[in-house]
Chain A
Amino acid sequence: MGSQAPTSDQLLELRNLTVDFGGVRAVNDLSLAIAPGELIGLIGPNGAGKTTVFNLITNDYQATSGEILLNGQSIRGLKPDRINRLGIGRTFQNIRLFPHMSAYENVELGLNSHPHYTMFEAFVRSPRAFRAEREARRRAHELLELVNLQDYANDRAGSLPYGLQRRLEIARALASDPKILLLDEPAAGTNEEESLALVQLIRQIHQTTGFAILIIEHHMAVVMDLCRDSRIYVLNLGSLLTFGSPAEIQSNPQVIKAYLGEKKDGRRRRRLS
């Protein structure tokens, strides 16, 4: 670390975060901060770099420069599993469940990622091992109930409808007991009814667990509703355009222009220059 250790009273803070891929600057000088327990939104047109930001936080991509601080400690350059153990959980835009395992097993695997007993004890089935596993089973069922999937516990994850798979992924991410949850477009592909249910679910999770949540979303109604008491950051072409309350964002002419650069189906209109 540097001679002056960066400090922060925020839970998660990004400072001047930048990443270059070859000649392309995917994220440019991004700074944002999330306090414990906040529910923050991250929006922006397609290609703005939102998922890239998540990948930078979890260090699946190496940042070129800038700082990422969790509870004041730099986590840049740490291995993704270490970052998870320090308290960051995430879901993926492309859904990365274990398709052949049941819903229950998916969540249980999330709980088992740091065994609470030694390998030797695993082989000989010590009492501590039994207790830890029983506890994991109980907790797995608890998490399934939290996301209302207890009826699907034994179904193959790959066979579940899309919307339920997203919920399952959230449950699995919760299994590692994160302090902040990164949700990547959980409402993608959902219809009106499902997205309403999702909003309720996320709000309920937020209230029950008290974790911070950073949510990337393209579905405007969802993110405006969820973040109505907090703020939303807007990304465009890798840079932070602005941030503020939903009302402020919705009436901000720059934001509107950035989004109008897209046609309704999400493709960018050719620029005049």
Chain B
Amino acid sequence: MMLVLLQQVINGVSIGAIYSLLAVGYALVYSVYNFTNWAFDGFMAFGAFMGFAAIGSLAMPFWLAMIFSMILTAILSILSEKLAYAPLRVRQAPRLFMMISAMGVNLAVVNTLNKTFSGVMRRFPIPDEWITTYDFGEISIGRMDILAAIIAFVCLALLWWFLFRTRWGLGVRVSSIDIDTAALMGVSNNKVAFIIFFATGVLSSVAGVFFGIKYAVYPLMGGAVTIKAMIASIVGGLGSLPGAVLGSLLLGVLETMVSGYVSSAYRDVFAFALLIILLLFFPNGLMGREKGEKL
């Protein structure tokens, strides 16, 4: 019994790791720019496809393909910021408009992928020998799951180091409190935007690649995952980065347990039900800060 539970926790953590990459990217954008960036759905799929193409068509080794994917997705992310968000931000457009613009970017990216690659589900091209599991009695842990967790951890650790140990990271953190004050203190708005969207792009592409490895690669792959990442972010507290990580792991584990003990079909419904409960009783999540408006 305990072993089954442990297995589920392990599975939960492995999917939670993927969620956490997306949730942190989402939380980053939200904490500084105060809007919901729907587009990381498409970026994730884009990252997965770039990795897929790099290995399949360009015959790159896995590690190189990952870096290739990260860079391309980061470029896409930064481009979208420049074209779709910056003009609105400069004008102090209402959040509704930013959300619509983000949805537009997402629609464009996902459907371009759909048109280019068709909706067929593809296997991410890694050598078969890699897809082994390590067995400890009745518990088995997938090797790629371990890799996903490690890489996720490394990415987040790098991000943490950047945010808390570098000058530019400080600038980003100040911007998340008040972007106008940060500008007055000499933090360049453009640099901050570059950094944040670079990070979002990289995180999304890693999430995409590993999700693709774990399940499959297809244009709509972002769909179910991004809503989870957003809910995970709310669990942890909207805008909080550590909260996003915590919330993701928690959601991953809870979800896997529901899937195991109740029904796998209703796993995603669980996430929604969790959201409603959160909104009713814990809107600030575990670690959220309520950011008031200046009146």
Give the B-binding residues of A (Cβ under 8 A).
51, 55, 60-61, 92-94
Contact = CB atoms under 8 A, between A and B. Distances in A.
A94 B92 CA distance: 15
A51 B294 CA distance: 11
A51 B295 CA distance: 8
Interface residues of B, number: 2
Q: 3 nearest interchain CB pairs? A: A55-B295, A60-B295, A92-B295
Nearest to A21: B292
8 contacts: A51-B295, A55-B295, A60-B295, A61-B295, A92-B295, A93-B295, A94-B294, A94-B295
Contacts of B294: 94
A120 B295 CA distance: 35
Contacts of A51: 295
Contacts of A94: 294-295
Given A51-B295, A60-B295, 4 more contacts: A55-B295, A92-B295, A94-B294, A94-B295
B289 to A, nearest CB: 11
Nearest to A96: B295
Interface in B281-295: 294-295
Interface string B257-295: 000000000000000000000000000000000000011
B28 to A, nearest CB: 24
Nearest to A54: B295
Contacts of A93: 295
Nearest to A52: B295
Contacts of A55: 295
A55 B293 CA distance: 12
A55 B295 CA distance: 8
A97 B231 CA distance: 34
Nearest to A94: B294
B270 to A, nearest CB: 33
